[in-house]
């Protein structure tokens, strides 16, 4: 689920800012950007994020903003001089110009680095608190989005149930149409006197049993009801169960379409499939 959280606090003379962005994913995928002096907190963050967010592609940015104007970064002068000496010698040896040598050295590895220092227990506790505040905002965004998704899913399933109720009025017409078509085909290719009416009735009954859709209607109705029940259950992590139910709904709808032999029923099936696709799209955002 897409969500965002941001929290900040002052730790000593620094202002700590934590930003968390999440996108939907089947698994937890953490991308942490930590200052050097917070590297030891990485394992704690991974555990907390996995326990609380459970799923999603998570990007975290942690920034220290200085309050008193002190320099947070330092230049490794010895390393800078070493790079300069070696590059100058190489420049003279190759007869190159000195253009942009300073800029090139500044971009070399480990020339500029953040000031490091161990955090006190109070600083670590303050850092944990800020992270938890940002996570709570993420969870709040998720809950709001979840409410909207639940409302949409409920509407889609109810529409499938409504379309299912429209199947029954077409059932009698469908049976009569199939029976008439079989009789006309039989009379077209065979003489009427040579047709065994009893045998014909038996074949019609057998064929009608083969394309009967009563079981599909009953099962689809049950799946729709169960889908709503799961939506109303307390707790998290419903997405996988709802996805399984939607797959079963799809099987019954497809079978209805295959057995319909009626343009009216095919239209109803198409409408139900359209609602089912909307359900699947929304379930991609459900934990």
d(CA 267, CA 203): 28
Torsion of CA 148, 153, 156, 157, to 10 degrees: -150
133 neighbors 6 (Cβ within 8 angstroms): no
Which residues make Cβ contacts (< 8 Å) with residue 160, sequence separation at least 6? Answer: 220, 224, 249, 253, 272, 275, 276
Output the six-digit token pair for 159. 């529409």
Coil, strand, or helix at residue 54? Answer: coil
Cα dist from 80 to 96, 108, 109, 286, whole Å: 20, 9, 10, 52
Q: Are 256 and 167 in contact (CB under 8 A)?
A: yes
Q: How far apart are CA 28 and CA 25, in angstroms?
A: 7
pLDDT digits (tens), the chain, 287 positions:
678 999 998 877 778 889 999 988 778 888 887 877 788 888 999 999 988 888 888 999 888 766 654 545 567 788 888 888 888 888 888 877 766 777 778 777 777 665 555 667 888 888 899 999 999 999 999 888 888 999 999 999 999 999 999 988 887 777 777 767 766 666 666 655 566 667 666 666 666 667 788 899 999 999 999 999 999 888 777 888 999 999 999 999 999 988 877 888 889 999 999 999 999 999 888 87
Nearest CA to 248 out of 219, 225, 286 is that of 219
> pTM of the entire structure?
0.67
Give the pLDDT confidence score for residue 187 in this predicted structure: 65
CA nearest to 214, candidates 167, 180, 270, 264:
167
* pLDDT in the model for residue 253: 95
């Amino acid at each position: 689920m897409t969500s965002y959280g941001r929290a900040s606090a002052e730790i000593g003379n620094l202002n700590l800012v934590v930003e968390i962005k999440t996108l939907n994913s089947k698994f937890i995928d953490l991308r942490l950007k930590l200052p050097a002096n917070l590297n030891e907190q990485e394992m704690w963050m991974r555990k907390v994020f996995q326990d609380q967010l459970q799923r999603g592609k998570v990007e975290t940015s942690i920034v220290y903003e200085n309050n008193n104007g002190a320099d947070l970064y330092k230049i490794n002068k010895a390393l800078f001089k070493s790079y300069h000496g070696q590059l100058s010698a190489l420049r003279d040896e190759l007869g190159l110009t000195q253009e942009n040598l300073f800029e090139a050295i500044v971009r070399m590895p480990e020339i500029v680095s953040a000031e490091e220092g161990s955090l006190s227990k109070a600083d670590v506790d303050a850092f944990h608190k800020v992270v938890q505040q940002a996570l709570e905002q993420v969870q709040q965004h998720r809950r709001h989005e979840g409410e909207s998704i639940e409302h949409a899913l409920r509407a889609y399933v109810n529409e499938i149930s409504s379309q299912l109720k429209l199947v029954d009025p077409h059932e009698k017409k469908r049976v009569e149409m199939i029976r008439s078509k079989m009789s006309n085909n039989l009379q077209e290719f065979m003489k009427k006197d040579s047709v065994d009416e009893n045998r014909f009735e038996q074949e019609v009954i057998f064929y009608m049993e083969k394309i009967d859709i009563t079981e599909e209607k009953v099962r689809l109705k049950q799946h729709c009801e169960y889908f709503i029940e799961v939506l109303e259950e307390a707790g998290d992590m419903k997405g996988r169960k709802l996805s399984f139910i939607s797959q079963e709904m799809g099987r019954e709808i497809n079978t209805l379409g295959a057995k319909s032999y009626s343009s009216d029923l095919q239209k109803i099936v198409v409408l139900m499939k359209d609602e089912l696709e909307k359900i699947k799209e929304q379930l991609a955002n459900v934990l």
